[in-house]
Amino acid sequence: MNESYWIESSEGKRFEKLNSDIKTDCLIVGGGMAGITCLYLLVSAGLEAVLIDADRTGYGCSGRNTGKITAQHGLVYYDIESQFDLERARQYYEINYKALELMETLIARYNIQCDFQRVAACVYTQDEGYADKIRQEYETYMKLELDCSLEKEIPIPIRVKNALVLNNQAQVNPKKYIDALAEEAVRQGGAIYEDTRIVDLQPGERCILKTGDKKTIDAGRVVIATHFPCYDGMGFYFARLKPLRTYAVMAKYVESFPECHFISAEEPTRSLRYVHEAGSLLIVGESHKVGHQNKDCYLELKKFGNEVFGIEDYQYQWSAQDYEPPRKIPYVGYLTKDTPNIYVATGFNKWGISGGTAAGMVISNMILNGSSPYEKLYSHSALKDIASSTFVTENADVTAQLVSGKLKSGDTELPESAGIGRVVNLGGKRCGYYKDEEGNEHILDITCTHMGCELKWNELEASWDCPCHGSRFDYKGNVLEGPACLPLNRHDEEKNRINPQIR
Ligand SMILES: Cc1cc2nc3c(=O)[nH]c(=O)nc-3n(C[C@H](O)[C@H](O)[C@H](O)COP(=O)(O)OP(=O)(O)OC[C@H]3O[C@@H](n4cnc5c(N)ncnc54)[C@H](O)[C@@H]3O)c2cc1C
Ligand code: FES
């Protein structure tokens, strides 16, 4: 089925929609790992705080990942040491490991049943070209005095050139954890509203936010934890973050599996872990930029599972996306230097269980104590971000996408069968066409409501995806994720309203 096992395994408490105007000391927008951790830490310290989620808490990327809690984020430490210095690498490890310890403490304190286990983490390579990169990473680990080892073999049927094991990491059912922490935050005085999307933010001494249902929230401080920031404030996050979609398949697996999770250093990524509570193996990988899909990524993962572990039947498959920052370090702290009461947490590069928890710790510290010892770790030089190769390549792609969609004409024939999405030309206008299983036609203006790129049909997920900054819409035009806040109009209504939320 096309749903995350984690979401299936834990429905979570339903919170009501915001139905009136409210005023609060602190508003957190987004109920994922970053937002819920921040809410919990603020209310448990006695602050008044409210969390708003466009959908349901824990149903975003935090409920669709691999559930590894680790400070081993693929290969990052050598890069951080080279681009910054060893001290930054040390801080990066320290805050991510503290995040793991915080989660472990809360799980024990509130007796959260979330299949938490301490296991090792292993990054391996089968590619001679990466063997040296793993050795370099190991050398930085040694300088940081981490509990690790460099190996030539790993205890699963994959032949490797080099593997780096970091001991004492962990894994969890992330949805069960988030659901329990959300309930605990509410028990301690926090408020959560679901099905409430923020569509506008006016910064100021007090910030005024508007919801999609035209309710007003007056907040002294705002934490933007919407995965991709729903408000940019001239931070140019849309130009710095690369949206990557990644796939997961899960199958029953009765053979024994080592007390370790694994990830390949090279592409295509293969990330593996055992899910004890389900007696299953979870295989994750096949990333691509959103809107740039060119193969059946589920099939590739299933082929790998069959070749390596002899698995034939898969019970779950799902996909999710996360955002890659230009220089490996997420954006955590003030949204910009001119917004002392607006904070942001984004760019977790597929490591936001520890990274989002760390963000919640750092931002709550900044709010409660005025500063955090980790502010320097997360401080970014806009100039260096802009000079990075990711920035240059991504923004060249955005320019190409903005122009290319407008030059094509689109099919004039509508697809006859249900379940097929296509760009069609109706009366000289390019529109997105989809016929659902009941035979209803959905014809949309497919100009992205973020900054106007043309959307592409995603056959695997039946959604309209933006190749520029990763916004996604369902076939009815509702926003699924990404920076876009406004839905798509039907082709016979007025043109889509573009609102980049930059200022
Ligand atoms: C396939 C995959 C596997 C991964 N595996 C791991 C792993 O093993 N370990 C790890 O550490 N990390 C992993 N990650 C990364 C991790 O899951 C994410 O980095 C993390 O969950 C991000 O948390 P978040 O709180 O920022 O966002 P989310 O969990 O996406 O939460 C954001 C919330 O904001 C809400 N929202 C959005 N816009 C608005 C708006 N305008 N108004 C109100 N609410 C809004 C959404 O509804 C959502 O609930 C993985 C990522 C992927 C894609
Ligand atoms: S997400 Fe930016 S233009 Fe679509």
489 falls within a domain: no
Q: Please report the pLDDT score of residue 289 as a whole number.
A: 95
Please report whether residue 330 resides in a domain.
Answer: yes
Q: Check if 70 has its Cβ closer than 6 Å to any atom of ligand 2.
A: no
Residue 292 pLDDT greater than 70, yes or no: yes
Looking at the fold, whether 324 and 450 belong to one and the same domain comes out as: no
Q: Is the pLDDT of residue 400 over 90?
A: no
The model's confidence at residue 52, banded by pLDDT at 50, 70 and 90, is very high
Our answer on whether the CB atom of 54 is closer than 6 Å to any ligand 1 atom is yes
3-state secondary structure of 183: helix
Residues 321 and 286 in one domain: yes
Q: Determine, yes or no, domain membership for 127.
A: yes
Question: Does the C-beta of 450 come closer than 6 Å to ligand 1?
Answer: no
Confidence band of 503 (pLDDT split at 50, 70, 90): low
Task: Among 43-57, 87-101, 482-496, name the one with the lowest average pLDDT.
Answer: 482-496
The pLDDT > 90 percentage for the chain reads 87
Look up the CATH number of the domain holding residue 470.
Answer: 2.102.10.10
Assess whether the C-beta atom of 451 lies below 6 angstroms from ligand 2. Answer: yes
pLDDT at 87 over 90: yes
- pLDDT tens sequence across 114-156: 999 999 999 999 999 999 999 999 999 999 999 999 999 999 9
Same domain flag for 454 and 335: no
pLDDT band at 407 (very low <50, low <70, confident <90, very high): low
| CA 120 – CA 166 distance, rounded (Å) | 6
Check whether residue 417 and residue 379 sit in a common domain. no
Q: What is the identity of the amino acid at 281?
A: L
- Quick count: other Cβ atoms within 10 Å of Cβ 98? 17
- Domain assignment present for residue 27? The answer is yes
For residues 103 and 252, state if they share a domain. Answer: yes
CA dist., res. 15 & res. 31, Å (int): 11
pLDDT of residue 275: 98
Residues 151 and 234 in one domain: yes
With a 6 Å cutoff on the Cβ, whether 285 touches ligand 1 is: no
Same domain, 222 and 101: yes
pLDDT at 428: 82
Residue 79 belongs to some domain of the structure? yes
Task: Indicate the average pLDDT of the chain.
Answer: 94
- Atom 1, ligand 2: residue with shortest CA distance: 469
Token pair listed for 293 = 């899909």
Tokens at residue 369, please?
Answer: 């104590």
Of 123, 275, 350, 486, best ligand 1 pocket probe by most atoms within 8 Å of the beta carbon: 350
What DSSP string describes 30-70?
Answer: --SHHHHHHHHHHHHTT--EEEE-SS-TT-SGGGSS--EE-
Q: Please give the pLDDT value at position 71.
A: 98
> 3-state SS of the chain: helix, strand, coil percent to 5?
30, 30, 45
- Residue from 353, 469, 474 to probe ligand 1 pocket by mutation (most atoms less than 8 Å from CB): 353
pLDDT (0 to 100) of residue 389: 62
Assess whether pLDDT exceeds 60 at residue 106: yes
pLDDT over threshold 70, residue 74: yes
**Residue ending a domain, choose from 329, 353, 385:** 385
Q: Is 72 left (phi over 0), alpha (psi -120 to 50) or beta?
A: beta
Task: Show the tokens assigned to 47.
Answer: 């602050």
Residues 124 and 266 in one domain: yes
User: Is 321 close to ligand 1, i.e. is its CB under 6 Å away?
Assistant: yes
Ligand closest in space to the Cα of 348? 1
Does the C-beta of 245 come closer than 6 Å to ligand 1? no
Same-domain check for residues 432 and 365: no
- Give the per-residue pLDDT at 406: 58
Rounded Cα distance between 151 and 128, Å, is 14
CA-CA distance, 170 to 70, in Å (whole number)?
6
How far apart CA 284 and CA 273 sit, in angstroms, is 9
Q: Worst-scoring range by mean pLDDT, 115-124, 157-166, 292-301, 424-433?
A: 424-433
d(CA 501, CA 332): 19
List the residue whose alpha carbon is closest to atom 35 of ligand 1.
30
User: What pLDDT is attached to residue 367?
Assistant: 98
- Rounded to an integer, what distance in angstroms lies between the CA atom of residue 241 and that of residue 324? 5
Residue 175 host element (H or E): helix 174-187
The residues pairing with 431 across neighbouring beta strands, listed in sequence order, are: 424
Q: Measured between alpha carbons, how far is 160 from 127 in angstroms, rounded to an integer?
A: 8
The string of pLDDT tens digits covering residues 155-175 is 999 999 999 999 999 999 999
Nearest atom within ligand 2 for CA of residue 466: 4
Ligand nearest to the CA of 450: 2
Please tell me the total count of domains within the chain: 2
Q: Return the ligand 1 atom nearest residue 322 CA.
A: 53
Q: Ligand 1 in contact with 342 (CB < 6 A)?
A: no
* Residue 329: both structure tokens together: 């370090």
Ligand 2 centroid from CA 410, angstroms: 20
The verdict on the CB of residue 66 being under 6 Å from ligand 1 is: yes
For helices 352-369 and 33-44, what crossing angle results, to 10°?
Answer: 30
Which ligand is located closest to the Cα atom of residue 454? 2
pLDDT, tens digit, 9 for 90 and up, residues 355-368: 999 999 999 999 99
Does 491 fall in a domain?
no
User: How far is the centre of ligand 1, averaged over its atoms, from the C-alpha of 241 (Å)?
Assistant: 14
Cα–Cα separations (whole angstroms), residue 489 to 310, 347, 456, 458, 473 = 47, 29, 16, 18, 11
Residue 370: count other Cβ atoms within 10 Å of its Cβ.
7
Can you give the pLDDT at residue 173? Answer: 98
Residue 279 shares a structural domain with residue 414: no
Does the pLDDT at position 379 exceed 70? Answer: yes
Burial class (CB in 10 A: 0-12, 13-18, 19+), 105: exposed
- Based on its alpha-carbon atoms, the radius of gyration of the chain, rounded to whole angstroms, reads 22
Q: Given this model, what pLDDT does residue 381 score?
A: 73
pTM (2 decimals)? Answer: 0.96
435 within a domain of the structure (yes/no): yes
Calculate the CA 447 to chain-centre distance: 23
* Alpha helix (H) residue ranges in 214-370: 237-240, 297-309, 352-369
Which residues, including other chains, have CB under 8 Å from residue 246's CB and lie 6 or more apart?
269, 284, 285, 286, 287, 319, 320, 321, 322, 350
* 398 found inside a domain: no
Which residue range is the domain that position 469 belongs to? 409-481
C-alpha 357/C-alpha 466 separation (Å) is 28
* Ligand that lies nearest to the alpha carbon of residue 464, given by its number in the listed order: 2
Asked if residue 385 has pLDDT above 80, the reply is no
Residues 378 and 415 in one domain: no
Q: Cα separation of 432 and 447, whole Å? A: 9
Q: Do residues 225 and 359 share a domain?
A: yes
Of all atoms in ligand 1, which is nearest to the CA of residue 53?
44
Per DSSP, the residues of 72-118 read --SS-HHHHHHHS-HHHHHHHHHHHHHHHHHHHHHHHHTT--S--EE
